[in-house]
Amino acid sequence: MSGTNDIQLMISPDEPSHFKLREFQNADGLAMVHSRLLDGLEELRGWLCKLFDEEVWVIITDGIRTQSDLERLAAKYGWIDEGGAVARDSKHLTKYGGIAADIKCFKAQPNQNGVRERIAQAIVGHEARKCFAFVKDDYADGHVHVDQWDRKKGRVA
């Protein structure tokens, strides 16, 4: 699947984003990203770069999911309504049009030991709340879930 979805996403016709379509794809190569999600990710990156006064990478750890993807994750991590970590009506599902992502963020410049410093989940979550309709930042592995779904209105924010 090398090269699959290796497409630079655009913020506007003249401005490339910092993301490629492949970053949002599932294991089968299905890729989908809503423009509102991309806007939020770019805005978050901007806030983090400003906060740390240096380049920051926003890494997508999970983007779009099919129902089969969701069931595989639930088999591993369990359903939220049963004490696990996977929502049955996950906003990652294709029916929501690519409005959710799980992310981790890193300082782009390696430290003196040659390691890129991961930005704390709490900091990413705090800054993400400026850019997204919904943020969940209490996962044990330190990732942050972000999405642009307005839960009160039942539509993209």
Instruction: Report pLDDT digits (tens) over 101-134.
Output: 999 999 999 999 999 999 999 999 999 999 999 9
Q: Is residue 4 part of a domain?
A: no
Q: Is residue 10 part of a domain?
A: no
Question: What pLDDT is recorded for position 152?
Answer: 94
Look up the CATH number of the domain holding residue 72. Answer: 3.30.1380
Digit-coded pLDDT (tens) for 40-91: 999 999 999 999 999 999 999 999 999 999 999 999 999 999 999 899 999 9
> pLDDT band for position 2 (50/70/90)?
low
Q: Is residue 96 part of a domain?
A: yes
Q: Is residue 42 part of a domain?
A: yes
Which residue range forms the structural domain that includes residue 37? 15-156
Question: What pLDDT is recorded for position 4?
Answer: 78
Question: What pLDDT is recorded for position 122?
Answer: 98
3-state SS, the chain, equals: CCCCCCCEEEEECCEEEEEEHHHHCCCCCCCCCCHHHHHHHHHHHHHHHHHHCCCEEEEEEECCECHHHHHHHHHHHCEHHHCCCECCCCCCEHHHCCCEEEEEEEECCCCCCCCCCECCHHHHHHHHCCCCCEEECCCCCCCEEEECEECCCCEEC
Which residue, 88, 57, 76, is CA-closest to 141?
76
Q: Is residue 9 part of a domain?
A: no
CB 128 within 8 A of CB 146: yes
CB 140 within 8 A of CB 156: no
Q: How many domains does the chain have?
A: 1
CB 91 within 8 A of CB 70: no
Q: Is residue 151 part of a domain?
A: yes
Question: What pLDDT is recorded for position 3?
Answer: 66
Q: Is residue 89 part of a domain?
A: yes
